[in-house]
Amino acid sequence: MRAGPGQVLAGRYRLTDRPEALSTVAVDERSGDVVRLRGWELPAPLTDDQDADGAGSERGERLVRRVAAVGAAAPGHPRILQGAGAFVEGELLWTVEERPAGRPLAAVLAEGPLPPYRAAEIAADLAAALRALHDAGLTHGNLTAESVLVCEDGAALLGGLLPGVAEEVLAEELGGPGGRRRYEVRAELVGSVAERWPLDGGPAGDCWALGVLLHRMATGRAPYPESGVPELVTAVREGRRVPSEACGPLGPLVERLVQPDPARRPTAAEIRLELAELLAGAPEPTAEERVAEERVAQPLPQPRRPARGRRTAGRDGAPDAERPGAEASGPAGPPRVPPSLLGPLLVGGVFLLLVLGVVAVVLFAG
């Protein structure tokens, strides 16, 4: 890798760490924003400026324009990480995406599967992002644990749109519009990640990928074998997978999402509605689930069930302060006089007034 900390790419992106697998964090010196750069090695025919007709550099710039066009068409949405474009520098194609504080979902899942209702919360955020993209006429095509960022407040953000586009246009540019060669190039770029190999594209393919990711979050593994691309693709085509019952309460939804008929899969809007209903009836988390959820910050309250651990109202609708055992918002001081002494004190007060009255009469009469 020829880039390192402190180096500036494209005249504006200063690297802040050493790239690993052509992925690095940088600071945009024009805006001050933190961004993530993702790079791909380009073959000489796509970068060679010595071609007599300049075809090499023109093909590289065509890649940049195709990637940037998708980024420009992407809707602004609170659950979508915004792409800032692409550029070619030397023999590398780079994409640029905003990078707020958080952890990739892949890093979270490396520590173990998530409780099913926590997985449902993340999936609901992703379904909202997919719906916005589909309404804008776009397909994501790169919904994986690596492309999802879990923020410090627990919200899940969908990224990876521009990297996914870059890999698809590279596969087409190097392998042609279809056929064996494109499959081989794409397999080299994408790898054996189950979410990236739906039988169909478009919005239905994105929903299938969300079903695969839901299974991965709930069980810690993909429903299809990932030992290699040929084995994975064959298993997807033949429907050989781990039963969805392993996903617990998410099983029925996962089953419908990964079925082969795209017309029978729920849309992103339907997925989000079903997950909201599931979360509305979620039981209190068990002790084991609470321990597991400590690995990930809980979401801030959204237009869905408030996050466990930050609930503003109980499941019965009563505010926490009104529930048994709940603490009041401010300290209430103890009563100055115990109730059991109020009666005797009142009688003693009346008797004292009578005595004082008698003394006064005697003094005036004397």
Task: List, for residues 206-261, the tens digit of each pLDDT value.
Answer: 999 999 999 999 999 999 999 999 999 999 999 999 999 999 999 999 999 999 99
Query: Mind listing the pLDDT tens digit for each residue in 94-110?
Result: 999 999 999 999 999 99
Query: Mind listing the pLDDT tens digit for each residue in 295-346?
Result: 555 443 333 333 333 333 333 333 333 333 333 333 344 444 455 555 666 6
CATH fold group of domain 8-281: Transferase(Phosphotransferase); domain 1 (1.10.510)
Lowest-pLDDT choice from 181-185, 266-270, 324-328 = 324-328
Query: 0.85 cut: is pTM over it?
Result: no
pLDDT at 342: 53
Structure tokens at 323: 């529930």
Sign of the CA dihedral with 246 first, then 249, 253, and 257 last? negative
Separation between Cα atoms, residue 191 and residue 224, nearest integer Å: 14
Q: Is the pLDDT of residue 151 over 70?
A: yes
pLDDT confidence tier of residue 2, bands split at 50, 70 and 90: low
Q: Kindly give, in sequence order, each residue whose CB lies less than 8 Å from that of residue 29, ignoring residues fewer than 6 positions away.
A: 8, 12, 13, 14
Contact present, 152 and 297 (Cβ < 8 Å): yes
Separation between Cα atoms, residue 2 and residue 90, nearest integer Å: 10
Contact present, 172 and 161 (Cβ < 8 Å): no
Helix axes 55-73, 161-175, angle to 10 degrees: 150
Contact present, 142 and 161 (Cβ < 8 Å): yes
